Structure formats: C-alpha cells, structure tokens
Amino acid sequence: MSDLVLTGGSVLTEDGVVESDVLISDGTIVEIGINLAADTIIECDGAWVGPGFVDLHTHLREPGEEWKEDISSGSAAAAAGGYTAIVAMPNTDPAVDAGHLAMFIVDRGRSTGLVDVRPAGAVSMGRHGEQLAHLDELWEAGVRVFTDDGDAVADAGLMRQAMDYLATRGGVIAQHAVDPGLAAAGQIHEGAVSSLLGMSAIPAEAEEIIIARDLRLAELTGARYHVQHLSTAGGVEMIAAAKTRGLEVTAEVTPHHLAFDDSMVATTDPAYKVMPPLRSIEHMDALRAGLRDGTIDAVATDHAPHAAHDKDVPFEHAANGITGLEWAAAVVNTVAPLDPVSFYTRMAVAPAAIAGTPDHGRWVAVGNPAHLAVFDPAHEWVPERTVSRSSNTPYFGMALQGRVVATVYRGAITARDGSPAAVALTS
Amino acid sequence: MNHFLSTEDTTREELTELLDDADSFVEVLDRPIPKVPALRGKTVATMFFEPSTRTKLSFEKAAKALSADIMSFSPSTSSLSKGESLKDTVLTVQAMGTDAMVVRHKATGAPWRVAEWVDQPVLNAGDGAHQHPTQALLDALTIRQRFGTLDGLRIGIVGDIRHSRVARSDVFAFNTLGAEVTMVAPKTLLPTQTDGWPAKASEDLDEVLTELDVVYLLRVQAERGGASVFPSLSEYTTRYGMTVQRFSRLKPDTVVLHPGPMNRGVEIAAEVADDDRSLILEQVANGVAVRMAVLFRLLGGEHDE
Amino acid sequence: MTRQVMDPGDVDRALTRMAHEILERNRGAADLLLVGIHTRGVPLAERLATTIERIEGKWIPWGSLDIGLYRDDLDARPKTELGKTEVPEPVDGATVVLVDDVLYTGRTIRAALDALADLGRPERVQLAVLVDRGHRELPIRPDYVGKNLPTAHHERVTVHVAEIDGADGVAIEPGGTP
C-alpha cells in the first residue's frame, strides 16, 4: 500500500493537541512530525486529526430488512461520517442471539471493508425477555456488548441473571431503558406538548425507573452496565451519582436528543418520532451538560433506517427512528460543541472502550493502527443527500457546522468530505 | 386559509368572519328552500376513518345545502382492510376528482398529513383527542347567538378534558374570542399539564358554579370508568354532574351546552337536558351552518396561495 | 380623471321620479315589496320605500338580499363577507322590485333572481337601478332607471350613498387601460 500523509492538522496525541503531519504506511501510523511527504496527501489545515469515531448504536437491518439498510450501505454511511468501527444492534430478523449470527455479521462487515462491524448480542432469546440468549457462543464470536435494544430487559430477574453471567467475563450489558408498563402506548414525551396534542405519552420516569433498578442490580452483581440513548435529566443525575460511588457504569446520548426538544413533534411530523422520545428542553439541556462534563461518556447515533412508507403515515402509526451516521459529528459540534480532546473522547475513545475494540479509539501515536477521523470544526454545510439506503432524517436542510474531511480505516481513505471514497480496499 | 385543521392557531378575526358567515347560513337554512348554489360543481369527500354518525351527517348536509356533491368514505366500505395506506387512500379519492376533503381519524395529526399529501383544502373533523375545530365553531356560534359576544363571558368546561378533542378546540376558540375559560374535572381527567392551555383549572365544580355564564358539559365515556380514571359513574355524577340541584344554583341567564351524545342521568340530568336554557339542539342546528361557513370559505372563492 | 355625473340633488330627484314611476306602473302600492341588493341597493330600496310611503301615506315593506352565494363567478372573485338576507314579508304573490345601484353585465341580477326564487314565488319581479351603464351580457333590462350612463368597458362607475359613504353621488373613473 502506498504511503499517505495528513498534513497541517491539529493532531490529537496522548500528550495533547500538536500541529503536525501524520504519515501512514501499511495501515499503521509510522511518523508524526513536520514536512512529511507521501504519494497521497490530505491537507488538514484547520482540521482536527484524531482517532476514528466509534458508534455504539447502529441499526444495520441485516439480516431481515435489507430494503432499509444493509451492512454494506450502513458501512458506507458510517465511513462518510468519520466512523471506523460500529456496533450493530441485534434487533434484526432473526435477532442476534446465537454465535453463528454474530459471525455472519462480522463476515459481512469484513467483506465490505469500510469499517469494523462489531455485532452486539441479544440478552434474551429472540429478544423476548424470557430466557437468556446463547451468551457464551456470542462471547466466543467476539460479542462484547449485550442488549435487547428496541425493547428493555423489563424483567429484573432476567436482568440480574444476565449481569451475573457476564460480570466475570467483563461484557457490557446495555439497556434500552424504557419501562414498558409506564410507556404503554406512549408516542411522545409526557409534558406540555403531549398535553395539548392529547397524545399518549411517556413520562421521563419510564426511563429513570429502569436506570434506578439496573444500577442497584449492577451494584449487586458487579456487572458493567451501559445506558443506551439516555434522554432524561434524572438519568444523567443517577449516572453521575453511580460513577461517584465507583460503579462501572457508562451512558450514551444520541445527536437528536442533544439537538431537538419535544417542540419538534408539536406538528406531529413523523420525522421526529424516536424512542425514547424527544424530551422537553430541560432534559435536552441536562444532556448537553452531561456530555460536556463527562457524565455521559459517548455520543451514539441510534442510526435507525426506515423505508419512506414507514414514515409517510400519521405520527402514531410511524416507525421510531432517525438516520444519523453521516452527520452525527457535525450535529454534536453544532449543538453541543466541545474542545477537541473532549470531542474525540466522546466520539471515539470512550465508545471504543465500551465496545471492546482495542484497535480503535486510540490517541494518535506511532505504531497504532491507522484508524483516523479528520474533522474540520469550522466548515459550514447543509446535508442534502445520504448514502444510507433510507432517508428518514430531519437533518436535511439543516445548517450544520463541522464536517468530516477524511476517514482513514486501516490506513486507507474510506471517505472524503462527507462522501464515501471510491477506493478498492485490500486487507 | 387553505385548510381548517385547528383552533389553536386561528385568529380572532378568522373566527369572527366564519361566525358572521355562519349567521348568514343560519338564515339560509331557515328559508323555504334551504339551499344555495354557491358550491355547484364542487365535490366534497367525507373521509371518516373513525366511525361517526352525527358529524358526518352534519358535514354532508352542509355540503348539500351549498349544492356541492358528496363522496362518502367509511372504513366498512374501504380498502384499508386490504392494507392500503392512508396516503394511497386519499390520493386515490383525490384522483377521482374531489375539491375538498373532510377527514376524521383516530390518529392525532392525521389531517395534517393528509393536507401535506393532497393539493386541496382539508377540514379536520376530529383527530384523536387533539382537535375538532368545527365543533368549537358551532359551540361559539351557539353562545354568541345567546349573549351577542363571547367577550368577558365565563365559561366552564366540565368533564374528561384530558381525552377530549372538543375541549382542546373549545378552550382555544373561546379564549381567542375573549371568554375566560375554566376547566373543571377530577385530576385524572384534567390535562396532564396545563402549561400552554389558555384556561384555568379546578377540581371543584361547586366552587366555580355560580360564576359561570356557560356550563359546557363533556360526555362521560362510560367505558373509561373501567380504566380507573374515576371511581364510579355515580361518584362522578355526585361531584361533576349537572344535577337539578346544581342547575338551580346557576345564575338565571346561564346556559348549558353539551356536544352530544348525552348520557342522561350521568353528566346531565334529564330535566336539565330538556330545559330551555340547555342549548343542545341549537348546537346541532348550528353545526350545519358553521360547516357551510368553513366549506364556503375554503372553496367559494380565491384561495390564499 | 374622475368625472362627477350625479350630485346629491340629482340622486334625490332620480329616486323621487322612480318612486312615482313604480306607483304609476303598478297602479298604487298594493302588494309592493322592495328588495335591495347588497350593498348599496339596500339603502336605495329603503329610500324608495320611504318616498313611496310619503306619496301614498302607506308603509311599504322593504328588505335586503345578499347574492354572494348565487354568483356564477365565485372562483374568479376575491372573497367578500356575506351580507344579510332579510325580507320582512313573504315574497309569495308579491310584486317584488329589486333595487340595485348599477346595472352592468346583468349577472348580479341573474343571481338575485335565483336567490329570490329560493325565498318563494313572487307574482312579478321588476328591476330598479340608479344607473344603467350598458354592456349587458344577459337578456336583462331594467324597469326603472335613475340615469342612463353610456360608458366604456374599462371605465369604472362608482355610486356613493349617504348611509354608507357619507354623501350621495355618481362618478366615472377611467379605470385600467382599455
């Protein structure tokens, strides 16, 4: 493989941010210095050069709903957004509750070759919340994150069993924290907006109750516990308190919960229908603060592709979800801007640690695998198209600040200026 | 006005114009030949995805009194059971040549979606527990006929406000027209939050009863009794029903309204329902006139682009 | 440039003459019912009724008719407020005199005849207009005319009545380009 040099950027190293060039050869970072040269040059003036982003929460829809997305199209969207590794949610059809399904996803990801695709495994068989999935098989297949995402593990007994089982292995139990009884047929956040719409709603407590319960169980079992798509101020508080007490607890927030409050659903536009629902502005502000101070460890997209006909219906009949891989970094930089170290910590370093992907999320250093995201925090643009197979996103037409200049995966350029690079990859 | 979907964003001027037009249609409906040719050649589709008798009849009578043709759609005759989407259904009906659509749907916001899909005026005939704006117009017209204006009137809306699209429409329309609205219900039937509601809230009917110029009784949905929102129908009647005893405590010119259908003996005593100061049949008659006013405004002339 | 063609005195004299003509043609005021067409026909009908009352010493019923719902050109016109239709006596069997300010294409009168038919079946219907400016598009002719006013198509005839505009008067404005 010919050499690649990233020139003139602000490089995020273990020792802080340095203005430097980065030389890459054979998929590895070989030199950090000035006036470096190579066959291929990417000018990174004004941009940050840091570890490739890692998404803890991607729905790739394969197997089972390939018309919405597949591992190939989802990988391309991820690369376009600066990602070098993504964790695929197991709520496919069939659910990823056994080792061979996890291996299928790893293989498909590898043959696409644009990002590392790491499957998350289901906690329960079929995600039915009744009986533990084949956790050992999944572990052997490389699964490190377990979740019934799409549904909560509602039964406290089952949750305890899963935690007990995985605690010694060190696997992460990730929870879609929505109490099904309290959420019932709820469509949106319970508050002023739902009151005026007369729509069934989900109180913040539906999330907070599950988090409170799970934190006690995490303490009881010693398991690593992760809250997915955190949406409430109460949740942020509980995570902060649990961390203070030394529990191995982490949390993620989605770009849309940082960007929007529930005033967006006042017109019942299904583009804004997500689970958990967009909350009121107080919750949104608490999430932004939590991301800033590190209570929330990671940004995770909850990239959830749906066909047009799943959204072109009345709100109450619409599918939950927003696609976001391609502009997640830009959205975060626009609505909740961070200094470069915090930014790469939330986008890459922390999620890599949770996902258990040691090759990723490493500060730029000689000898490390070349998984890099070059991000220009000042570039202004408006998303207008997508490489995802679905376009259920409210971000089209929205002015964003910050753009992925280049994504480098295994030393090869997988995306330039927000579009997947048309390069043939060899591994 | 391109559509008529909600009272939440209508101005006092718009509401007043519609009520003024409705006054003219009340006169038309009183003529020997209660029909005018204003919408001759127009076709109005009534698309009721949720069963309804009175509202559908009222809209159809209004369209006919304006000489419009009617295309009527109801779920029992529909292809929804064959899996056709709402979007395909309304586009199909539009392709047959309609000029306006009257939409009722149990999903909140469905008429807004329809308004995005079709290129003709859409009238909301009730969506979920959200809005039912022509009901608010007919209620306002009935009150205005009696008092001359809504300005400064004290109106109490009593009952299941939380699940009522009538209440949501009335609160905004009455307030916009200058009335002071109080919502009266047990906590479980009041809105979960009253932020953004231009009305006061009370759990005690007897406390506010004697101040009111208009008492608007909402229908108790008896099936909700089982959903434990109040202990029993008799307990509801005791605390919130318009009994003969409560009726006698009202100011002498206070009137009683009800959107129908009534549960006699539950939210309203039979004697009250039949009293001259209960305007329930006037409301029904006015329903046709206000729907004529809305149809005429949307179809009878140039549209705002 | 606006050209004044009738002053308040002219209007008053014209209305008085028309009142006499109405009585003469109908051999008195029996069964007469004057119906003014919104907007400026209504005060003109009232004034004709008052004048006839003065002459005959007998109250003459008069009312108003809104023809907004009977127009054949609803799509082409900006929306206007609907006026009141109030006719104090049954039109059945009456001699109805429709009153309007200006007779032009005749379409307003066609609509008024339709509207009147929905109120009942008059014995006969006559038409009184303050100004006939010509350019008929329908086979309609007036029975009583205050003033015949030859005009060009592009000109605009404006009638002012004291009850609405403060003072009586008729003027011709050049209007748009011919």
> Is C85 within 8 Å of B36 when comparing Cβ atoms?
no
Upper half-sphere CA count for residue B1 (Cβ side, 13 Å): 25
Asked if residue A134 lies in contact with residue A98, where contact means CB atoms within 8 angstroms, the answer is yes
Residue type, position C168, single letter: D
Closest A-chain CA to B7: A196
Q: Do domains B12-131+284-299 and B133-279 have the same CATH topology?
A: yes
- Which residues of B are less than 8 Å from C118 in CB distance? 31-33, 35-36
**Binding partners of C (≥3 Cβ pairs within 8 A):** B
A190, A199, A309 ranked by CB distance to B128: nearest: A199
**pLDDT-based confidence at B83, cuts 50/70/90?**
low
- Among residues A70, A262, A302, A310, which one is catalytic? A302
Nearest to C118 among B23, B25, B33 (CB): B33
Q: Considering only CB atoms, which chain A residues are within 8 Å of B108?
A: 187, 197-199, 268, 314-316
* Chain A residues with at least one Cβ partner in B under 8 Å: 187, 190-192, 194-199, 201, 267-268, 270, 309, 312-317
pLDDT band at B52; cut points 50, 70, 90: confident
Whether C106 and chain B come into contact, CB under 8 Å, resolves to no
Shared domain check, A342 and A237: yes
- Assess if residue A275 is contained within a domain: yes
Question: Are C82 and B20 within 8 A, CB to CB?
Answer: yes
Are residues A90 and A134 part of one domain? yes
Q: Which of A355, A377, A394 is the last residue of a domain?
A: A355
Across the interface, which of B109, B168, B192 has its CB nearest the CB of A314? Answer: B109
Residue B24 C-alpha, separation from nearest chain C C-alpha, in angstroms: 6
Interface A:B, ≥3 CB–CB pairs < 8 Å:
yes
Query: Is A97 a member of any domain?
Result: yes
Nearest Cα of chain C lies from the Cα of B68 at a distance, in angstroms, of: 12
Average pLDDT, chain B: 92
The two three-digit tokens of residue A213, written as one number: 């319960």
Test mutation, C38, C67, C77, C82, chain B, max B CBs within 10 A: C82
What residue of B is the nearest CA neighbor of C83? B24
- C-beta atoms of C85 and B35 within 8 A: no
Cα gap A408→B122, rounded to integer Å = 51
DSSP H helical segments within chain B, as ranges? Answer: 12-29, 54-65, 86-95, 110-117, 133-147, 165-176, 205-208, 233-240, 244-249, 270-273, 280-299
Nearest CB to C81: which of B20, B25, B38? B20
Query: Domain count of chain A?
Result: 2
Answer yes or no: do A113 and A213 share one domain: yes
Question: Which of B28, B29, B297 to mutate: most C Cβ within 10 Å?
Answer: B28
| pLDDT surpassing 50 at residue B251 | yes
ipTM of the complex: 0.90
Asked whether residue A260 is domain-assigned, the answer is yes
pLDDT digits (tens, 9 = 90+) for C131-145: 999 999 999 999 999
Residues A20 and A42 in one domain: yes
Alpha-carbon distance B179 to A57, whole Å?
51
Task: Report the residue of chain C nearest B297, measured CA to CA.
Answer: C79
What's the CATH code, domain C10-71+85-152? 3.40.50.2020
* A116 labelled catalytic: no
pLDDT single digits (tens) A122-176: 999 999 999 999 999 999 999 999 999 999 999 999 999 999 999 999 999 999 9
Size of the B and C interface in Cβ pairs below 8 Å? 55
Residues of chain C with pLDDT under 70: 74-80, 176-178
Return the residue of B nearest to A203 by Cα: B192
* Cross-chain residue pair B24–C74, CB shorter than 8 Å: no
Q: Are residues A62 and A76 in the same domain?
A: yes
pLDDT score for A418 = 84
Q: Is C81 on the interface with B (CB under 8 A)?
A: yes
User: Residue C29 contacts by C-beta under 8 Å, 6 or more apart in sequence?
Assistant: C23, C52, C56, C58, C60
Determine the pLDDT at residue C1. Answer: 78
Quick check: C121 contacting B, CB < 8 Å? no
Instruction: State the Cα–Cα distance between residues C106 and C111, nearest whole angstrom.
Output: 9
User: What range defines the domain where residue A280 resides?
Assistant: 54-355
CATH number, position A98: 3.20.20.140
Q: Which of A200, A264, A272, A316 to mutate to test the interface with B (most CBs of B within 10 A)?
A: A316
User: Are residues A204 and A230 both part of a single domain?
Assistant: yes
- A122 and A151 belong to one structural domain: yes
Q: Are residues A27 and A151 in the same domain?
A: no
Contacts C86 to B, Cβ<8 Å: 27
Q: What is the crossing angle of helices A233-244 and A281-293, to 10°?
A: 30
Residues B19 and B13 sit within 8 Å (Cβ to Cβ) = no
Q: Are A172 and A198 in contact (CB under 8 A)?
A: no
Residues A35 and A64 in one domain: no
Tell me the chain B residues in contact with residue C35 when contact means C-beta distances shorter than 8 Å.
Answer: none
Residue A157 lies in a domain: yes
Task: Kindly list the domain boundaries of chain B, sorted by start residue.
Answer: 12-131+284-299, 133-279
Q: Is the pLDDT of residue B13 over 90?
A: yes
Neighbouring subunits of A (3+ Cβ pairs under 8 A): B
Probe site for chain A from B192, B197, B221 (most A CB atoms < 10 A): B192
Question: Given an 8 Å threshold on Cβ–Cβ distance, is B24 in contact with C78?
Answer: no
Q: Which CATH number fits domain B133-279: 3.40.640.10, 1.10.3720.10, 3.30.70.2740, 3.40.50.1370?
A: 3.40.50.1370
Count of positions (residues) in chain A: 427
How close C119 comes to chain B (CA, Å)? 6
User: Cβ distance A330 to A341 under 8 Å?
Assistant: no
Residue A98's nearest CA partner among A140, A59, A156 is A140
Eight-state DSSP code of residue B254: -
CATH topology (fold) of B12-131+284-299: Rossmann fold (3.40.50)
Pick the residue from chain B with its C-alpha nearest to A270. Answer: B113
Residue of A nearest to B160 (CA): A198
- Numbered residues of chain B with Cβ closer than 8 Å to any chain C Cβ: 17, 20-21, 23-25, 27-28, 31-33, 35-38, 66, 296-297, 300-302
**A197, A268, A313 ranked by CB distance to B87: nearest:** A313
| Domain coordinates in residue numbering, chain C | 10-71+85-152
- Which residues does chain A have with pLDDT short of 50? 1, 424-427
DSSP letter for A360, please. Answer: S
- Taking the alpha carbons of C5, C9, C10, C11 in that order, is the dihedral positive or negative? positive
Annotate chain C with three-state secondary structure. Answer: CCEEEECHHHHHHHHHHHHHHHHHHCCCCCCEEEEEECCCHHHHHHHHHHHHHHHHCCCCCEEEECCCCCCCCHHHCCCCCCCCCECCCCCCCCEEEEEEEEECCCHHHHHHHHHHHHHCCCCEEEEEEEEECCCCCCCCCCCEEEEECCCCCCCEEEEECHHHHCCCEEEEECCCCC
Distance from CA of C38 to the nearest CA of B (A): 13
Q: pLDDT per residue over B154-201, tens digit each?
A: 999 999 999 999 999 999 999 999 999 999 999 989 999 998 999 999
B92 touches chain A (CB under 8 A): no
CB contact under 8 A, B24 and C75: no
Nearest to A198 among B86, B128, B194 (CB): B128
Three-state DSSP state, B228: coil
Residues A174 and A314 in one domain: yes
User: Which of B33, B36, B297 has its CB closest to that of C69?
Assistant: B36
B100-105 and B122-127 strand pairing: parallel
Between residues 49 and 68 of chain C, which touch chain B (CB distance below 8 Å)?
66, 68
